[in-house]
Amino acid sequence: MPKIEVKQAGLERYSTLKPSVDELTEMLPAVKGEVDEVNRETGVLKLEFNDTNRPDLWSTAGAGRALRSYYTGWLPTYEFFSRPARSLPDDGRRVTVDPSLAEVRPYLAAFALRGPAMDAVTLDDLIQTQEKLCWNFGRKRKSIAMGVYRSQSIHYPVRYQAVDPKTTRFQPLGLEKTLSLSEILKEHPKGVEYGSIVAGLPMFPFLTDSGGEVLSFPPIINSAHLGAVQVGDQELFVEMTGTDLPSLTLAVSIVACDLADAGYTILPVTVEYPYDTPFGKTVTFPYYFQEEVKAELGFINKLLGINLVGEEAQNALAKMGVTSRYGNGMLTVIPPVYRNDFLHPVDVAEDVAVGRGLASFEPERPSDATIGRLTDAELFGRRVRDLMIGMGFQEMIFNYLGSRHDFIERMNISGDDVVQILNPMTENYEYVRNSIAPNLLEAEGVSGNALYPHHIFEVGKVVRLEPSHREGSVTTNSLGWLSAAPDEGFNQINSRVAALLYYLGKDYKVKESSDPRFIPGRAAEVWIERKAQPEFAGVFGEVHPAVLENWNAGIPCTLGELNLDVLAR
């Protein structure tokens, strides 16, 4: 869950409240947060937030804004947002986008600001907001990367280009010499850390002003001149580049609101695209794109088990900083400019519940008597577990989520049937596994010092894309197992499959498999005999050396996976 560091004095300034640490501990659940750590000498608090779809809370200003709304009834309003039917004047602050960026890093959003001299606390909080948004919400800069610059030296229009990485050179922040973009990926610490985002691209994204002064090489590093923001700066230019314009626009809105709350004047910037975007070819940022969400009050009351009237529901939403209208039994929510988490009427009900106060709900004893029992699938799975343990295997429990690198690239598969999560916290949890095999190989890859042979298994769920299914995917119960030993081969795993299916009472046949995870000619498909026609149940064989190398497994391994839902029928 996201964690931030805040100065207690700063939180008091933004919230207009002066709670003690103990009082703050009692208050934070209203914004789904809690105090994780307190340094009473420095006045620094570490706060943890339990809601990953509220990136607007991940800053001192954002947390303070939420607390102020909840405990004082303040409804924040911001007048610097353009809308689909109304663009604010940009006074010449424009960014032009190169057409070739459509296949590189297509989107950019930006704004400028002026105001009081930037102090160390505000600058530190801005840097922390940048890190949290780009790391958690922006998937480690893959979908969102942010740059901040000294705007008094920028000559508009700013140019967002795609350039040759070998011939384009500049002095990056933190170094005393100029490097090409390709060299930055190898020699600069940020290039080494984030270079994989652009390394495979023929052209790299690049930001300059109209006079040729370099702003940055996004999403890697700012320039040493315009990108070196310091304490005392009064005019800044903030840009974000990425692959998803709505997420990018929301992130820009959050930072703009934070800086407005800090006392700065937000100045619109227009971005001109040569290609279509979700918001058109010319967009002036900050830009309000959220749509109203409707929810029946009767639905909310039924869901929460209460009986609120319209005004009470509106007051509860107002405490969450949310404006709403009510009429004819329908609540219409107008999402704040810094939130985009109202996807369904249930989200409205949740904000009503939190705004009303979770402590105000009295616990009730369930009125329906039910008798629990294990499902047939669970009983069958337990039977399979007992058989695997009886054959000398050790049971494992793995995560169902992982990265593209682990679930697809390391397995030498196309990944066409792997489910991708639309808005993951990090790329490490971006995909739902379609096989237990990656988890088993990961465990083997870190077990090289353990005494051989290794025999491990898991009974768990896997998910595969299935366009013909009404939900677009199919979840199945699966058995996956792996054996590793110097003499491990096809004969050994074949005998284990025979033993397992014998004790399960299943007649089966095998066919040669072309699965790329296995050595050709050393893998087989399992087909269960049926009266109508055989049914595919799984695959087993000797793991391909390339796959073993990908997982740093230095000894021969066999691997198998069976669909338990098929076996249970």
Give average pLDDT by consecutive 10-residue segment, the chain, 569 residues. Answer: 86 91 88 86 86 87 93 92 94 96 95 94 90 87 93 94 95 93 94 92 95 94 91 95 94 96 96 96 96 95 92 94 94 95 92 91 83 91 96 95 92 91 79 95 92 96 90 93 96 96 95 95 94 92 95 94 95
- Strands 235-242, 282-285: pairing is unpaired
Query: Is the CATH number 3.30.56.10 carried by domain 293-359?
Result: yes
Task: Give the strand pairing for 293-296 and 431-432.
Answer: unpaired
- Which pLDDT value is given to residue 331? 95
Using DSSP, state whether 145 is helix, strand or coil: strand
Asked if 118 and 233 count as a contact pair (C-beta separation under 8 A), the reply is yes
Using DSSP, how many helices (H) and how many strands (E) does the chain show?
A: 16, 28
Q: What is the pLDDT of residue 137?
A: 86
CATH architecture designation of domain 376-568 = 2-Layer Sandwich (3.30)
3-72: CATH topology: Phenylalanyl-tRNA Synthetase; Chain B, domain 1 (3.30.56)
Under 8 Å CB-to-CB from 193, ≥6 apart: which residues?
Answer: none
- The two tokens of residue 257 are 């609101």
The H-or-E segment that residue 432 falls in is: strand 431-432
Class of domain 94-285: alpha beta
Amino acid making up residue 246: P
The tokens for 415 are 């990944």
The yes-or-no answer to whether 3-72 and 293-359 have a common fold is yes
pTM above 0.95, yes or no: no
> According to the model, what pLDDT value does residue 458 have?
97
Location of structure tokens 């490097």? 179
What are the extents of the domains in the chain? 3-72, 94-285, 293-359, 376-568
